[in-house]
Amino acid sequence: MSEYVQTRVANGTGIITLDRPKALNSLSLEMVRALTETLLAWREDASVDAVVITSSSEKALCAGGDIRFFHQAGHATPASAGCGSALLEDFFTEEYALNHLIHFYPKPYIALMDGVVMGGGMGIAQGGPDTGLRIVTERTKVAMPEVNIGLFPDVGGSHFLSHAPGALGMYLGLTGLTIGAADALYVGLADVFVPSAELAALHALIAATPGAQLAQAIRAFAAPFAQQAGASELEAQRALVDRHFGASSVQAVMDALEGDASPFAQKALNAMRQRSPLMMCVTREMLVRGAVLDVADCLRMERSLVRRNFEHGEVLEGVRALVIDKDNAPQWNPPSLDAVTPEMVARFFEPVWPAWAHPLRHL
């Protein structure tokens, strides 16, 4: 088990506490394995009726994968070798398998999405529609910001973003911008709102309620606070988002935004100008494909895309610029949107393995 993943069972509820506060609970391979081991054990344990995942810090549930590890492991061997190291290959295979396990978990899986919940954090928060319960607070900061580091919205993002209403998932995937509680609820990435001032009472409720009744009890507890989440900006801007981000290409999206002087449109445009041109195009294609795939096939597609991404090296450059050298000046390849060809994008979707050899073939 990982020192950063604390687990206990009380009153029929398995409680997982992520405890890596200095890294905002960024996921390491060790943490992914600890989460998987715990959830597999509790899945078969009749004394566990529900699972709660929370954090030791109010700053974040989980800020994503450990991208410093990505950079280090990605440089371990020549790029032509693929992802760069066996540990990196293992990380993505096991992380995506964990995402699948959570999505189809047979017991209520309750995620307390207080603070930052981004990237890989979303993958461990987005439980299945029948048993998942996602709680947000006024401190919640949700994003799928991968295009900012030369990656794409993974951990099942090709499924949960592509199934968001209208073009909202495309907006979140292409801009990588952060949303709060009201927007997360509107987009369908959260279920209930609880003010942070009530979290002590919520934890007391969790301790006092049998696991079999917990999800229903939390919904009842949260109901009086629903209006306190505030108004959703994305709901107010829904027509604009659908109009611009429903365009037929990334270039068409940006052209539409350029013709819209509203602050909302210009913020989105300025964000996209900083992102990897290639990975925005890959992301758009991925979301189009993901809209007609099930969860398992989405994760298998993402697993292949990860391998192609590390072969190309875009994420290594993005992490270098953002986290390693911190110059915030990534040298994207290609450097501009007009230099991205359909062949470059298509390359990312070419099969890496035969179907029978895919590392996630058993999902």
pLDDT tens-digit readout, 302-358:
999 999 999 998 998 998 998 889 999 999 999 999 999 999 999 999 999 999 999
Based on the residue annotation, tell me whether 211 is a catalytic residue of this protein: no
- Indicate the average pLDDT of the chain: 94
Q: Pick the catalytic residue: 154, 302, 314, 317?
A: 154
Phi, psi (deg, nearest 5) at residue 294: -85, 175
Domains of the chain, first to last: 5-357 (3.90.226.10)
* Cα distance between residue 328 and residue 243, in whole Å: 31
Q: Pick the catalytic residue: 14, 64, 115, 120?
A: 120
Based on the residue annotation, tell me whether 120 is a catalytic residue of this protein: yes
pLDDT tens-digit readout, 15-73:
999 999 999 999 999 999 999 999 999 999 999 999 999 999 999 999 998 877 777 77
Closest CA to 121 of 189, 174, 216, 188: 189
Pairing between strand 5-10 and 13-18?
A: antiparallel
Q: Pick the catalytic residue: 64, 65, 119, 150?
A: 65
Q: What is the pTM of this model?
A: 0.95
Looking at this protein, which amino acid is placed at residue 274?
Q
Please state the rounded mean pLDDT for residues 90-95: 96
pLDDT tens-digit readout, 153-191:
999 999 999 999 999 999 999 999 999 999 999 999 999
Phi, psi (deg, nearest 5) at residue 89: -60, -45
* Cα distance between residue 5 and residue 77, in whole Å: 30
* Cα distance between residue 353 and residue 63, in whole Å: 30
Give 76's pLDDT tier (boundaries 50, 70, 90). low
Q: Cβ of 203: how many Cβ atoms within 10 Å? A: 14
Q: Pick the catalytic residue: 49, 114, 146, 191?
A: 146
Based on the residue annotation, tell me whether 285 is a catalytic residue of this protein: no
Length of the chain: 363
Q: What is the pLDDT of residue 80?
A: 43
Residue 97 CA: distances (Å) to CA of 19, 37, 53, 92: 22, 12, 17, 8
